[in-house]
Structure 1
Amino acid sequence: MQEYWELYMKNLEGKPASILFNAGISMEMDAIKYIYPQIAFVKVKLKEPNEKGLLSEGEQPEITYLEDKLEASLIKFRIGKYVGRVISDGYVTFLYYLQFTYNWQDFLEYALDEFESYEISSGFQEDSEWNYYQKLLYPSPREWQIIQNHKVCEQLKAKEDNLHLPRAIEHKAFFQSEYKKDDLIEQLLEEGFKVQDEISNEEGYKGISFYRIDKPFYHDIDELTLYLIDLLETYDAHYDGWETSIVKS
């Protein structure tokens, strides 16, 4: 299985949640989900959550050590794969898909023998369709876009870009069907975008590129791209990301 981890924030039952998950598994899930048919969890009550119910900076080293011990135990007993972690409402929940369950208790005892001061619960159940991975850990298209937005923002910051300075931001869209293409272009022009070239992707879908002067700062670009996702969907088009030039102070 590929190891490719992503971290993002989402709203979970009305409360902020930090989600860490192995995105690489999604590319192999159909081949492995029947090998690891049980979902298992280890849920730890945080001693010092921050005001949002998330992991505080002071408690992070101990929780990281606990996470490492669980990972070492998983390797020792060879019972499954670590797929993600959810931190929300004062708890951190580690999630695993198991091939075997007969030595689950041995796994727990080996991993958690140093953490008696924590309130910890655990368990497992059947999940051969990997619903917990797909519906809890895996991001929606809108959440994926935010992940990609922030990656680009971090890359720009690393090159000393001033994210608050407006500049041309170019976007791409591809059509599922083109019968609403002219209507979409008209709508984009009304909203101040300039439509550039007709493009196509590797799958042969046709699309357009368009740009407008905007700020690429985190909150601004999130609001804009989420709006474009919804707008393009009404015109049978798929949003395919953005790019911009570096602008320093």
Structure 2
Amino acid sequence: MKYILLIVVLLFSIPLFAQTVEDHWETYTAQYDDGVGSTIVNMSLLADAPIVQYPFLVKISVKINRCNQDGFPMENEWDGLYLMSDKLKAVFAVHGPFKAVGTFTIQCWRTDYYYVKDTVALRQALTAAAKKYQPTRECMIETRSDPKWNSYLKFLYPNEETFEYIKNQKVVIPLSQNGDKLTKPRQVDHWLYFKTEAGRNRFISYAQQQRYKIEDKKLSARSDFPYQLHLSRVDNVDLPTISKITLQLRRKVKEYDGTYDGWETFVIKK
């Protein structure tokens, strides 16, 4: 079970899949029953999943021979993992089209997830390739039917809270990289959009009860949500705190036919 998000970005979490221009990959880590796990997921497939032409799941789990105390690969392990992934991916290409959907690392094991049209002779070919190129590395290959893409939709793809962290990291990480310790409260500005002026006005009453300041409200160029609202409040911006705030806004604004469009703030270096 995935139950507590810890860190969203890890320097070692580099996709082992070839990416196309259309691919959108995200990385996050979370606490699971077995320990801390890192997930890399192809977000681009959500709109089409499940893809009925690819009903079979293939999981390739590779043992990490040298891992750190958190169960993740040490630096000198990456070349071997890259080699194994590339060689096995070439086997998929020979046996027909496939969809690479993600990878999951936990407790010194790294598992790549693929969906394929047919598994005939594929498992044997993958096993032979693994033994040929890295005979001393333990490898487990599982093939099974998963026409609903449960492994992608219910396990790899981030849940609502995790997805909020992924979005907020894009603001928090640059703050940290610019010397911000993320320990001091500061003004945080939020933007929301509504389908109707009445919906915006009702949300303003809620926002004021939550101590938000109304900075501005105006018409926007958005035809679907034309009524803009700019709020601000003094808050902490560490990832857990700001994600709790934005998730609450994102959920609440839907009740008023609105959508949450993000936040920004400034760097505090002292």
Report the TM-score when normalising by structure 2: 0.74
Other-structure match for 1:24? 44
Equivalences, count = 246
Distance 1:233 1:55 in 2: 41
Q: What is the identity percentage for the equivalent residue pairs of Structure 1 and Structure 2?
A: 26
State which of 216, 221, 224 in structure 2 corresponds to 1:203. Answer: 224
Please say if residues 79 and 101 of structure 1, whose CA atoms lie closer than 8 Å, have aligned partners that are also in contact. no
- Match of 1:125, SS state, is strand
Deviation at 1:110, TM superposition (A): 2.5
Aligned-partner residue type, residue 214 of structure 1: D
Deviation at 1:137, TM superposition (A): 1.1
Q: Unaligned 5+ residue runs, structure 2? A: 1-19
Matched, 1:154 2:173: yes
Distance 1:24 1:93 in 2: 19
Deviation at 1:88, TM superposition (A): 1.6
Q: Unaligned 5+ residue runs, structure 1? A: none
Aligned-partner residue type, residue 262 of structure 2: G
Please say if residues 70 and 112 of structure 1, whose CA atoms lie closer than 8 Å, have aligned partners that are also in contact. no
Aligned-partner residue type, residue 204 of structure 2: I
State which of 130, 134, 142 in structure 1 corresponds to 2:149. Answer: 130
Which structure 2 residues correspond to residues 21-100 of structure 1 after superposition, within 5 A? 21-29=41-49, 33-100=51-118
State which of 251, 255, 264 in structure 2 corresponds to 1:243. Answer: 264
- Which stretch of the first structure deviates more once superposed, 206-215 or 88-97? 206-215
- Match of 2:133, SS state, is coil
Deviation at 1:174, TM superposition (A): 4.8
Distance change >3 Å, CA 220–CA 73, structure 1 → 2: same
Please say if residues 153 and 163 of structure 1, whose CA atoms lie closer than 8 Å, have aligned partners that are also in contact. no
Please say if residues 69 and 112 of structure 1, whose CA atoms lie closer than 8 Å, have aligned partners that are also in contact. no
Distance change >3 Å, CA 14–CA 169, structure 1 → 2: farther
Distance change >3 Å, CA 89–CA 232, structure 1 → 2: farther
Please say if residues 71 and 82 of structure 1, whose CA atoms lie closer than 8 Å, have aligned partners that are also in contact. no
Other-structure match for 2:126? 107
